Chain A
Amino acid sequence: MAALREMPWPAKIYFVLCIGAAGILLVWSGQAYDRLDWSSTLVLALLFLVCESVPTQLSVRQAAISVSFSAALAAVVLVGPEGAALVAATAVFSVRPGLPTHKRLFNGAQFLISGYAAGWVYTLAGGVPGLPRRTDFPEIILPYGAATFVFVALNFVLTALILALAEGVGKRQVPVPDVAQFLLSYLGYATFGLLIAGLWATVQSISAVLVLLPLFVARWAFGQYHAQHRSYEATIAALCQAVETKDWYTRGHCTRVSAAASMIAEEIGMGTERLHAIRYAGMLHDVGKLGVPTKVLQKEGFLTEEEFAAIQLHPMRGLEIVRGIGFLDEAFAGIMHHHERYDGRGYPMGLAGSEIPEFARIICVADAFDSMTSDRSYRKAKPQEEAVAELRKWSGTQFDPIMVGAFIRALDRDGWNPPASVPAPSGMPVVTAAKDHDDPTTPIQVVSDR
């Protein structure tokens, strides 16, 4: 949400309407306050406030959901619509430094409306607000489910509307898997809310602590996981770049191959786990190149069979280095076979067609494309169109046509950042290879010893 002053007028009207509706609900529910269970309401409100102040990132993607949902839904069961509205309205006071007042107000108002509506639906569907008895289970599930649905739906719609009106967010479609994950985590929070309410009769607020403590620990662990994951990706990239410093012209090759490979993988619809794996495989595909003697790479003209064999060995060398890492097996296959050709004339095993592992077919395309669109000591970088034309030309002989097609579609949609032109090395002594084994337009020429 932008600042209140800068919002377009429909957003302002919507904002005022929401606050107004919340105010009316607050006054309207005033008549029920004399029979409200104030002590429970107070404890629940406190709980809601604590949870709301610590947004819990439980799902993997951006959806920051707070555990406060559980507290609000428990309030629906325990203290009815009026109490739930009051509990949810405390979102206004949540401890989030830097949150402007109008956002606080709106947040409180939309929570109040959602809470009241959920409580109302709960009673409408046959639920009786108050401590649930043992005989209420499992019939309580129906009204509780209805209340949960209303709470989540209203909360989502009210928030999405203000975002759409104020900033135009929401024009881009939210991808479906994310929504599914979103709903699943809400379902989880709903369950926790029912657990809290179910135990309230025995130990009151302690039940909330017992339910939420594992969740807070989980939040901490997820945080640690994300931190480690980021750190891991940065480390693997830095180490691969260190390996590349050997050759002046191939700097950044591994990162770009990794990016291109994940573009193809995404296009053909790979799952998250495999996407991660192919990113790492793309990053590490050439680590074995360090085993190729520098003088072979620097040699101009024809190579002897022996020298070419040293180059052909690098995928196996790479595999040997990374074998100890607990990746998916597919990632290893991708590294080992990334120089196989679709027609079976590649190395190290001469596999053909669908015998070549999927990861290897993907990395192969990404590898050749980046090689062609980068500067080399013996030529300048080719423009993207020319490189695509080359991919098309060799599609079916060197490359898998499916992967080439997927890559071209992804390129058309997302574009590509070619590496900056590499200045010819000057001053300090650097290694520049005279040939690139990845370049399909300039195949390495081998003379037979015999």
Chain B
Amino acid sequence: MTSETRGIQGLDSGQLLLICAGGMLAVAGISHTAAVGLVDSQVAIGFGALIACGELARLTMPGNREVAPISTAAAFGYALLLYVGGDQAAHSALQVVAVMAVGMIAGGLPHLAVGRAPRLDALARRLICGSLLAFAFRPFADVLRPPPGGAWWVALLVMVLLIGVALAVDVVVAGLLRAEQVRTAFSVAVRDEARMAAPLGAAVSASGILLALALHSMELTALLAFAAPLLVTQVAFRKYAGIRATYLQTIRALARVTEVGGYVEPGHSRRVSRLAVAIGRDLGMAEPELLELEYAALMHDIGQLSLTDPIPGGATVLTDPEQARRIAELGAEVIRKTGVLNQVADIVRRQCDPLEERPPLASRIIRAANAYDDLVSGSTNRDRAAAALERMRLDGGTQYDPEVVEAMATVIDRLVPVNRL
């Protein structure tokens, strides 16, 4: 869970299955194409190069999702290609797979050379999504191809529909993986994935169709020009993903000032936030809510900065309720000064409210996670964990929400066995 290193051991069964499927697809495509030879080799090389460029310029979206919009659009374009400069495009679906696979490998090599290992599962998903479209569209290419000068409406409609289906399948697969990876409900994961994929998916589909149509009336050189609108999109998303990542890192870092100042134990805010997010996932919170929960959990002790002297040991669970509420108010005050994180401020402010005042779910989660961490203070000892949980259960629903405590028990059960012999 905490391990950031990736390797075969770090992958779960769903990812392994996906990677195997992708690998087999790539091998089938490449060997078939090698056996029968490349049809329209110039076009194939052109699209392969564009796919490689797209892979080179891949980016990581919030939530550690790797995407390569230009590569995907080029793959879509190649799968949907009907004419090249007036001549019929006759390549098979397996050739599309081969071109994608080779392009992806070529584009991934420079990354590998500087020590950035590929995300095999994301790569496999891209390959499978493009292949799906190719297998669905290529067999009907001859039927759908309008005669020169004829109307494109039918072909266009089929293209849009099939891309929609391919992207939908991709979202479902991504949701399945995500649900397994971060232990959240499948429906929540699919909704999260769809929300993340929708804007980029629209841009990628439009550009894919554009590429396919452009080659009808223009030469191969137009390929680069037609990727230009998508390039603008890619730049915009890269900037967006960058600031989102920095934002989270900054709050994680600055939440640690309370530790450096001796107000709380080292690692407290980080542990509470991890636990809180895991509980939130278990209770079916969606990603935007989880982000707010994480921010609030990281900064739940920031109000202590306004105290003249640190509370000894920093254990807020043992301080008297009045003081705890004051710290929560002070912390909320600090966060409200940002002018943008009002929701987070509200969660922090109500983290010590008794249950009968109906604090928001996020506040209840933070309260329980905070108390748990104070009681076990970073130890992974099972007995201590059980004792802390027992103590919180005994509270009987006055301070800690029983539903949250049960979710916490499930989460901790999953986290602690790492140290079990």
User: CB within 8 Å of B: which residues of A?
Assistant: 58, 134, 137, 188, 191-192, 194-195, 198-199, 201-203, 206-207, 209-215, 217-222, 224-225, 228-232, 234-243, 245-246, 287-288, 290-291, 294, 317, 320-327, 429-431
Assuming the A-B contacts A210-B206, A238-B334, are A324 and B233 also in contact, with contact meaning beta carbons closer than 8 angstroms in the complex? no
Asked if residues A325 and B203 are in contact (CB atoms below 8 Å), the reply is: no
Q: Per-residue 0/1 for B219-255: is the Cβ within 8 Å of any A Cβ (1 yes, 0 no)?
A: 1001001101110110111011011111101111110
B253–A324 CB distance below 8 A: yes
Which residues on the A side are within 8 Å of B318 (C-beta)? none
Task: Provide the residues of chain B in CB contact with A206, threshold 8 Å.
Answer: 152, 156
Give the Cβ gap from A284 to chain B, nearest Cβ, in Å: 8
Kindly state the separation between the CA atoms of A228 and B340 in the bound complex, as whole angstroms: 10
Query: Which A residues lie within 8 Å of B251 (CB)?
Result: 235, 239
- Chain B proximity of A312: nearest CB distance (Å): 15
The reply to whether A188 and B246 form a contact with Cβ atoms under 8 Å apart is no
Which secondary structure dominates chain A's binding surface?
Answer: helix
B214 in the interface (beta carbon within 8 A): yes
Q: Given the complex, which residues of A lie within 8 Å of B250, measured CB to CB?
A: 232, 235-236, 239, 322, 325
Interface stretch of the complex, out of B42-50, B303-311, B375-383: B303-311
Residue of B whose beta carbon sits closest to that of A244: B305
Verify if B419 is at the interface (C-beta below 8 Å from A): no
15 more CB-based (< 8 A) A-B contacts, given A210-B207, A214-B207: A137-B218, A207-B213, A218-B233, A218-B235, A221-B199, A225-B243, A228-B244, A231-B340, A237-B338, A290-B261, A290-B305, A291-B261, A294-B309, A325-B246, A325-B249
**Is there contact, CB below 8 Å, between B202 and A217?**
yes
Contacts of B86 in A (CB 8 A): 134
Determine if A134 and B229 form an interchain contact, defined as CB atoms under 8 angstroms apart: no
- Hey, which chain B residues are within 8 Å of A212, CB to CB? 229
> Cβ of B297: which chain A residues have Cβ within 8 Å of it?
none
Taking the closest CB of chain B, its distance from the CB of A215, in whole angstroms, is: 5
* Residues from chain A with Cβ under 8 Å of B260 in the complex: 288, 290-291, 317, 320-321
Taking the closest CB of chain B, its distance from the CB of A236, in whole angstroms, is 6
Q: In the assembly, what is the distance between CA of A215 and CA of B233, in Å?
A: 6
Kindly identify which residue among A202, A229, A290, A327 contacts B217, using a CB–CB cutoff of 8 Å: A202
- Report the separation of the CA atoms of residues A288 and B225 in the bound assembly, to the nearest whole angstrom: 50
Chain B interface SS verdict (over half): helix
Is B334 a contact partner of A225 (Cβ separation < 8 A)? no
- Our pick among A194, A203, A234, A245 for the contact of B156 (Cβ within 8 Å) is A203
Residues 179-207 of B at the A interface (beta carbon under 8 Å): 199-200, 202-203, 206-207
A235/B206 contact (C-beta < 8 A), A195-B225, A215-B233, A290-B261 known: no
Most chain A CB within 10 A, of B236, B244, B302, is at B236
A197 CB to nearest B CB, Å: 11
User: Which residue from B199, B214, B305 sits with its C-beta under 8 Å from A220?
Assistant: B199
Asked whether B203 lies within 8 Å of A217 as measured between CB atoms, the reply is: yes
Question: With A203-B213, A246-B305, A325-B246 as given contacts, are A287 and B257 in contact (CB-CB < 8 Å)?
Answer: yes
Given A202-B152, A203-B156, A325-B253, are A214 and B203 neighbors across the interface (CB < 8 Å)?
yes
CB distance from B260 to the nearest CB of A (A): 5
A234 touching B339, Cβ below 8 Å: yes
Pair B240/A221 contact, Cβ less than 8 Å? yes
The answer to whether A215 and B229 have CB atoms under 8 Å apart is yes
Q: What band does the interface of chain B fall in when counting residues whose beta carbon is under 8 Å from A? A: 35 or more
Given contacts A217-B199, A220-B199, contact A225 B236 (CB under 8 A): yes
CB-based contact A195/B236 at 8 Å: no
Q: Identify which of residues 284-343 in chain B touch chain A, using a CB-to-CB cut-off of 8 Å.
A: 302, 305-306, 308-309, 334-335, 337-341
Q: Is B364 in contact with chain A by the CB < 8 A criterion?
A: no
In Å, the complex CA distance between A214 and B252 comes to: 34
Closest beta carbon of chain B to A287's beta carbon, Å: 6
Q: Is B138 in the interface zone, CB < 8 Å from A?
A: no
A-B contact pairs, 26 of them (CB 8 A): A134-B86, A194-B225, A201-B217, A203-B213, A210-B210, A211-B210, A212-B229, A213-B206, A214-B207, A215-B232, A217-B203, A228-B243, A231-B338, A232-B247, A234-B339, A238-B334, A239-B254, A239-B302, A241-B337, A290-B261, A291-B260, A291-B262, A294-B309, A320-B260, A321-B257, A324-B253
A218 touches B214 (CB 8 A): no
A188/B219 in contact, CB under 8 A: no
Taking the closest CB of chain B, its distance from the CB of A356, in whole angstroms, is 24
Q: How far is the CB of A193 from chain B (nearest CB, A)?
A: 12
Chain B residues contacting A239 (CB-CB under 8 Å) are 250-251, 254, 257, 302, 334, 338
Please report the C-alpha to C-alpha distance between residue A218 and residue B231 in the assembled complex, in whole angstroms: 9
Give Cα A203 to B272, complex, Å. 56
Chain B residue at minimum C-beta to C-beta distance from A229 = B243
Q: Is B213 a contact of A199 with CB atoms below 8 Å?
A: yes
4 closest residue pairs by CB, A with B:
A221-B236, A213-B206, A290-B261, A214-B203
- Is B257's CB under 8 angstroms from A290's CB? yes
CA distance A430 to B199 in the complex (A): 50
Shortest distance from the beta carbon of B265 to any chain A beta carbon, whole Å: 15
Cα A246 to Cα B302 with chains together (Å): 12
Cβ–Cβ < 8 Å partners of B203 in chain A: 213-214, 217-218
Q: Is the Cβ of B210 less than 8 Å from the Cβ of A199?
A: yes
Contacts of A195 in B (CB 8 A): 210, 214, 225-226, 228-229
Q: For the complex, what is the distance from the CA of A217 to the CA of B203, rounded to whole Å? A: 6
Which residue of A has the minimal Cβ distance to B243? A228
Q: Are B235 and A242 in contact (CB under 8 A)?
A: no
